[in-house]
Structure 1
Amino acid sequence: MHCSRCGAALPSAPPSVCAACGYHVYVNARPTSGLIIVRDDRFLALLRAREPRAGLWELPGGFCDGVEHPADAAVREAREELGVDVVLGELVGMYLGTYDYQDETLPVLDCIYLASLPSGASITLDLEEAAAMTWLPIAAPPAMAFGTMDRALEDAQKLLVR
């Protein structure tokens, strides 16, 4: 690893301090937003169309842009992936995980929200993102593409029965 400020070799993997310029180097989790869109006792699952983990079920969502608030990112991602403006509900939780991208394992902080579809909403999938969609029982979900989604679904079940 090298210092992102001066390019000198770092004495150790981050967190580290560059010996050449004194810059403190950290590896921070990238923020993402996801949605558990609920209808009755089911949630909307998408079949991943691309790597990593193509062919596995996931929740709609993605990376936050710059200083975009995770709630705003969740609404934007639903618009991009599903073609709808969701009704955003409460934050289910924040979950630390990883995402493999460009031959690197990135730490991520997944912010997962409950959501619903407005009455009469019609979903139009972005086929570059999702090969298919289905409504799955929230009480018995399959293993999801990312462990953070599994944990969020468990927590969402608890929120929904209170």
Structure 2
Amino acid sequence: MKSLISEENREWYRQHFSVVFSDFYLFEELLGLKNSDLDAQAKKYLKQLQLDHKVKVENGQLSTTSLSQGQRKRLALLTAYLEDRPIYLFDEWAADQDPVFKEIFYTQLLPELRSRGKTVLVISHDDHYFHLANRIIKLDYGQIEYDKT
């Protein structure tokens, strides 16, 4: 049964999404996360995101956010991972990544999210990786040019 989004269920609906926008904001504290094992999980993800040599986490606090733009975006991804929501949206996430980590994002991180049953939406111009998508919707000036599964 479909249910429409209304004022009564809007917040519930929003809580299904983890989003990293291209113009993200990064907090030094991992806010709003209710996980008793937060630091341990964050350390695991920092290693996976190749940031464990630059950033430490203690009591939900990041040791630094003074990093390159690509590394800061990885910290934003860390927060999205820790939220552990069913739907992930990445808006040009890989644009600031070096070629090596861009490859890791598309070939390891996104498939891992999908294998955990997550819905993953990626807004990207990285046509080199389009073949990895389950579905491609191409927009041209806000109009759907094609929709291919």
TM-score scaled to structure 1, two decimals? 0.26
Q: Which has the higher helix share?
A: 2
TM-score by length of 2: 0.27
Higher strand share: 1
Structure showing greater Rg: 1
